[in-house]
Amino acid sequence: MKHFFSGLFILALAIVITGTLYADDTDLRGTGDLGIIIERATGSLLIIDSTTRTTVNRVVGLGDLSHASAVFSRDARFAFIFGRDGGLTKVDLLTGTIAGRVLQAGNAIGGAISDDGTLVAVSNYKPGGVRVFDVETLAPVADIPAQWSGGQSKTVGLVDAPGRKFVFTLWDAGETWIADFSKGNQPQVTKFADIGDRPYDALITGDGRHYIAGLYGEDGLALIDLWAEPLQPRRILNGYGRGEEKLPVYKMPHLEGWALAGDRFVLPAVGRHEILWVDRKSFAEAGRTEVHGQPVFAVARPDGRHVWVNFAHPDNDTIQVIDSLTGKIIKQWKPGPAVLHMEFTARGHEVWVSVRDADVVQVYDARTFQKKAEIPAKSPSGIFLTSRAHKTGL
């Protein structure tokens, strides 16, 4: 009996000390189906559950989130949000709280997390260059000012590459740099000059092998095969505009997650109302599809069969879906005013679509195109699901 009571006492003590550790099972959850929606005008974000298609939490106080993007920690618990105002915020998806925040520059454009999950890098406009931080503490690790003859260059197209590397491109200087952190936190930087006139964005293929920068000032793209020795940038799709005068570009396209659709990659053209198909081996042009306006995102469904395309102002109320086998548009509709972003679930069964000026995010069945849910959000822009945690370049 005495033992029973002392046992009970120890149990009670254990419960008091450990508190929620022994919480009911229903309080525990994974993060694999969570995601965030940027609310660009209010400096807030929604944490969403993509299984129940509901909002779990709203996190406020993230600064200027126009053009904000995010990456995830390896355990998919933390999101790192890159704000326009240079704010880098670490958000805990489980508690819905800010776990850390630094104002690391005056004007920033995006970021990346290293393959080992230890470094988070931010691409800056003002001052230019790239700054790198410790994932745990957000303490500064390295500063790469991206100096060129004109001062510090604005940087774009910052991605992670295998082997604790970051690759980014200098808008003003027309250069691509590789910062290699494999030997420690002092990066070895390799520079490629003259990749082209005003590279506006870049991406890395899902296998981490090819880095491609889109050029605003020229008809073409710059490609670096990161497996080649020596490394040598080369021009692809040279002259795809056929020297014709560009149509006005009211919003720069985004190159995000090189959309592989069967044997072809798909890319938005600049200054042409077309998407471009590129042979996955030769990187030669393999066709083009005329679309509704200046494409912004051309996102392949994860299996590659369909490509969803949205458009720049004033055609940004429309989505077109293209069959990658035939290159033909198979579906077109108007979700609402200002369709800004489309995000597939990991295996591509559903798509989340932000419709900024309707203050709503719509969830579609990716095969039937049926709308399955609408989630209220304030001026929603980027949508980022945690499955990105496990993909190179996202």
Partner 1 sequence: MPNAYFKRILFLVLISMAQAWPAIAETTSPARANELERLVRQDCGSCHGMTLKGGLGPDIRATALDGADAEAIAQIILNGVPGTPMPPWRPLMSEDDARWIANYLLTVPDP
Residue 243 Cβ vs partner 1, minimum distance, rounded to whole Å: 16
Count of positions (residues) in the chain = 394
| CB contact at 8 A, 375 and 55 | yes
- Quick one: tokens of 177? 């740099």
| CB contact at 8 A, 320 and 292 | yes
Q: How many CB atoms lie within 10 A of CB 109?
A: 23
The values of phi and psi at residue 20, to 5°, are: -75, -5
Of residues 313 and 347, the one with the C-beta less far from partner 1: 313
Residue 332 Cβ vs partner 1, minimum distance, rounded to whole Å: 21
Of residues 255 and 389, the one with the C-beta less far from partner 1: 255
Of residues 49 and 172, the one with the C-beta less far from partner 1: 172
Residue 45 Cβ vs partner 1, minimum distance, rounded to whole Å: 15
- Quick one: tokens of 3? 């033992």
Residue 327 Cβ vs partner 1, minimum distance, rounded to whole Å: 28
- Quick one: tokens of 78? 């933390």
- Tokens 């720069």 identify what position? 252
Residue 251 Cβ vs partner 1, minimum distance, rounded to whole Å: 4
Of residues 84 and 131, the one with the C-beta less far from partner 1: 84
Of residues 102 and 338, the one with the C-beta less far from partner 1: 338
Of residues 125 and 133, the one with the C-beta less far from partner 1: 125
Question: What is the b/e burial string over 67-89, where b = at least 16 CB atoms within 10 angstroms of the residue's CB?
Answer: bbbbbbbeebbbbbbbbbbbbbb
Of residues 125 and 240, the one with the C-beta less far from partner 1: 125
Residue 351 Cβ vs partner 1, minimum distance, rounded to whole Å: 22
Q: Using CB under 8 A as the criterion, which residues of the chain lie in contact with partner 1 when the complex forms?
A: 40-41, 64, 66-67, 84, 107, 109, 125-126, 154, 156, 171, 198, 200, 216, 248-252, 312-314, 338, 356-357
Residue 221 Cβ vs partner 1, minimum distance, rounded to whole Å: 16
- Using only C-alpha atoms, the chain has a radius of gyration, in whole angstroms, of 22
Q: How many CB atoms lie within 10 A of CB 187?
A: 24
Q: How far apart are alpha carbons 59 and 34 in whole angstroms? A: 14
